[in-house]
Amino acid sequence: MQLPKSIYENLPYLYFLISGAILTLGETSHVFIFSAFIFYMAACIVLVKRSAFRRLDKQYRKQNKRWLPELIYEYLPFVYLAIGVFLLMIGTSDLLQFSAFALIVWAVRNLVCRRHNRQRKQSLF
């Protein structure tokens, strides 16, 4: 069974929305937090797998050596985003809320830059 392209492409974002809805509308029990975590992780995994499959700079990835393992590197912006949202939800002080906002902005910036860099082929120079 194949899904229509419009549904297939937006499915991870629907998982993010379901996760957020569970966190905001649900109770603060462990079951709700765990199910929101599962939806969030499913969205992250789908987005990382799609990015790895669709990237145009595959040769560059093999040559580039990072100080972080690739698995951790791929999921790090999603971890920043989750920590930022969590701090924003529980934060009462201005400093904590600013830190949460900064983490969210940093995560979104990293994800946008990655998407831009991976959708273009490596130049000769």
pTM, two decimals, is 0.69
Tell me, yes or no, whether 44 and 89 share the same domain.
no
| pLDDT for residue 113 | 79
- Report which of 46, 52, 54 is spatially closest to residue 18, judged by C-alpha positions: 46
Angle between helices 5-25 and 70-90 (to 10 degrees): 40
Tell me, yes or no, whether 43 and 97 share the same domain.
no
Tell me, yes or no, whether 45 and 74 share the same domain.
no
Residue 60 located in a structural domain:
no
Tell me, yes or no, whether 125 and 95 share the same domain.
yes
Tell me, yes or no, whether 125 and 77 share the same domain.
yes
Residue 62 located in a structural domain:
no
Residue 73 located in a structural domain:
yes
| pLDDT for residue 60 | 54
| pLDDT for residue 104 | 85
Tell me, yes or no, whether 48 and 101 share the same domain.
no
Residue 62: both structure tokens together: 């093999």
- Residue by residue, pLDDT tens for the chain (125 residues) are 687 878 787 788 888 889 888 888 877 778 888 888 899 889 888 888 887 777 665 655 555 566 667 777 777 888 888 888 888 877 788 888 888 888 889 888 888 877 777 666 555 54
Instruction: Quote the CA–CA distance of 29 and 8 in Å, as a whole number.
Output: 31
Split into its structural domains, the chain has a count of 2
Tell me, yes or no, whether 41 and 71 share the same domain.
no
What range does the domain containing 124 cover? 67-125
